[in-house]
Amino acid sequence: NPLDFSGVWRFRDLLNFCPDDCKVTVGEGQTILQRNDALAKDLGIDAGCLHLEYEGLNPSGSFKDNGMTAAFSHARLVGATASACASTGNTSASMALYAHSTGMSCTVFIGSGRIAYGKLSQAMDYGAHTLQIAGDFDDCMRQVQAVCAQLGIYLVNSLNPFRLEGQKTIMFRILEQLGWQVPDWIIVPGGNLGNSSSFGKAFAELKQLGLIDRVPRLAIINAEGANTLTHLYNDRNLRWNDGRPDADLVQEFYDDLTARKYSPRTVASAIEISRPVNLTKCLRALDICDGVVISVPDEEIIDAKAQIGLRGLGCEPASAATIAGLKHLLADGVVDPSAKIACVLTGHPLKDPNLTVNYHKDNKGKFSNPPVEVPNDLNAIIKAMKQA
Ligand code: F0G
């Protein structure tokens, strides 16, 4: 049964919302959790304590496939024929892959100039209809909701609760690969806050089912240029409050963003979001997992990305916010160097090749480690090898 080879659907007993014949799979969720002692050593963490969950190994190159397989299975269940999303890139690549696999049409709303090329090229390959809106992700998110409501189109952003159901399996796989030993910390980048929301739900449910005896702590890392959650949680003390977070406080903050014509900016374009649609659900996850939230500057994100590439399999910029954030949490004594830590690396390094190439150039545009020109001649190649 192909469902047994899906890293999402082999947990289908815990995702019981549609019959097997509706389920659509492209082999998502076959990811690995890497114990990375080299990076642990760099960070001053004890050997055996740092684990990296490589979600970039999914078919479309990001964690989104975990949620998209669930959303498209539900879309088939309800007979939808057209899908749409707003995206900073990965949602669109994943949606287009699943739409193409199920024969549904799909439309992507992207902010003008706000998407990494690797991601846009995937949506093109899978045949998505792409609308480039003169605005940012938050504008696209608002517009796509209105369009889907008016035209009866199936919305696959993480507002869609089935997306979050599928994304719970990222945590199931981490636990599985740790022999169902609960880590002390889960560290995840925060954008639209779907992952963090689904992780909290996963742990609450597993505990209720008696499959785990405690929940890990959750650290959500924002980019400094898109730090709504950090501001509301740390500076304004916004809390879940039994499902009634202070709506006036949130509205006041968003009104202020509007008044200032504020638009978020970060090199981690995947998380360049200032009005996260899962804010309330995320507050619940922070409550369940005794969570913390911090923001990291772009330079630290880019450096952490290079470090993960040097020490591991690499990831895209937004994913590297986890390691950039972890450095602060260690320095501030929030995370202990002997704690068991799992960082979720949400996207593949090839998603944003421009940023990587530019990182390896100096300010005059010269590569620090340039390709060496060699004639097509064995002796010349051997000479160059010896010089290296
Ligand atoms: N990491 C990557 C690589 C992402 O693409 C995203 C979100 C996030 C982290 C943030 O995850 O929303 O669950 O907090 N990308 C969306 C997109 C917004 O359109 O591809 P979140």
Instruction: Assess: ipTM above 0.95.
Output: yes
Q: Are 89 and 206 found together in one domain?
A: no
Pocket test for ligand 1, best of 158, 277, 343, 346 (most atoms within 8 A of CB): 346
**CB of 280 sitting under 6 A from ligand 1:** no
Q: Are strands 32-35 and 50-54 parallel, antiparallel or unpaired?
A: antiparallel
pLDDT at residue 368, as a whole number? 84
Q: Are 249 and 226 found together in one domain?
A: yes
Output Rg (C-alpha) for the chain, integer angstroms: 21
**CB of 346 sitting under 6 A from ligand 1:** yes
Question: Separation of 270 CA from ligand 1 center, angstroms?
Answer: 5
Per the structure, the complete domain to which residue 133 belongs is given by 2-25+63-155
Q: What rounded mean pLDDT belongs to the chain? A: 96
Q: Are 115 and 137 found together in one domain?
A: yes
Q: What is the mean pLDDT of residues 159-164?
A: 98
> Residue 98's domain is classified under what CATH number?
3.40.50.1100
The CA–CA distances, whole Å, from 199 to 63, 261, 282, 321 equal 13, 32, 9, 18
State which ligand 1 atom lies nearest to the alpha carbon of 194: 13
Question: Separation of 271 CA from ligand 1 center, angstroms?
Answer: 6
Where does a domain end: 155, 180, 197? 155
Q: Between residues 116 and 79, which one has the greater pLDDT?
A: 79
pLDDT at residue 113, as a whole number? 85
Pocket test for ligand 1, best of 58, 88, 233 (most atoms within 8 A of CB): 88
Question: Separation of 383 CA from ligand 1 center, angstroms?
Answer: 46
d(Cα 220, Cα 183) in Å, to the nearest integer? Answer: 15
DSSP letter for each residue of 174-233: HHHHTTTPPPSEEEEE-SSSHHHHHHHHHHHHHHHTTS-SS--EEEEEEEGGG-HHHIII
**CB of 190 sitting under 6 A from ligand 1:** yes
Residue showing tokens 């998407």: 115
Q: Are 267 and 186 found together in one domain?
A: yes
Q: Are 186 and 282 found together in one domain?
A: yes
Cβ count near 215 (within 10 Å): 20
For residue 15, the number of C-alpha atoms closer than 13 Å in the C-beta half-sphere is 30
pLDDT at residue 231, as a whole number? 98
Q: Are 49 and 122 found together in one domain?
A: no
**Residue 7 region, left (φ>0) first, then alpha (ψ -120 to 50), else beta?**
alpha
Type of residue found at 110: I
pLDDT at residue 205, as a whole number? 98
Both tokens assigned to 115: 């998407």
Per-residue pLDDT tens for 333-367? Answer: 999 999 999 999 999 999 998 888 888 888 888 88
Q: What b-and-e string marks burial along 11-50, b requiring 16 or more CB atoms within 10 Å of the CB?
A: bbeebeebeeebbbbbebbebebbebeebbeebebeeebb
Q: Are 217 and 144 found together in one domain?
A: no
Per-residue pLDDT tens for 235-246? Answer: 999 999 999 999
Q: Are 122 and 229 found together in one domain?
A: no
Q: Would the pLDDT of 114 be above 90? A: no
Q: Are 342 and 225 found together in one domain?
A: yes
Q: Looking at residue 377, what DSSP letter applies?
A: -
Question: Separation of 192 CA from ligand 1 center, angstroms?
Answer: 6
**CB of 270 sitting under 6 A from ligand 1:** yes
pLDDT at residue 253, as a whole number? 98
**CB of 193 sitting under 6 A from ligand 1:** yes
Q: How many domains does the chain have?
A: 3
How sure is the predictor about 371, in pLDDT bands with cuts at 50, 70 and 90?
A: confident
The CA–CA distances, whole Å, from 74 to 127, 163, 165, 351, 384 equal 21, 10, 11, 28, 57
Residues in the chain: 388
Pocket test for ligand 1, best of 55, 58, 62 (most atoms within 8 A of CB): 62
pLDDT at residue 363, as a whole number? 83
pLDDT at residue 364, as a whole number? 86
Question: Separation of 388 CA from ligand 1 center, angstroms?
Answer: 40
Q: Are 95 and 209 found together in one domain?
A: no
Q: Are 184 and 209 found together in one domain?
A: yes
Q: What is the mean pLDDT of residues 132-150?
A: 97
How sure is the predictor about 137, in pLDDT bands with cuts at 50, 70 and 90?
A: very high
pLDDT at residue 292, as a whole number? 98
Q: What is the mean pLDDT of residues 148-158?
A: 98
Q: What is the mean pLDDT of residues 59-66?
A: 98
Nearest to 132 by CA among 97, 87, 193, 189: 87
Q: Are 55 and 1 in contact (CB under 8 A)?
A: no
**CB of 194 sitting under 6 A from ligand 1:** yes
**Coil, strand or helix: which one is 319?**
helix
Q: Are 271 and 367 found together in one domain?
A: no
Where does a domain end: 155, 185, 207? 155
**CB of 266 sitting under 6 A from ligand 1:** no
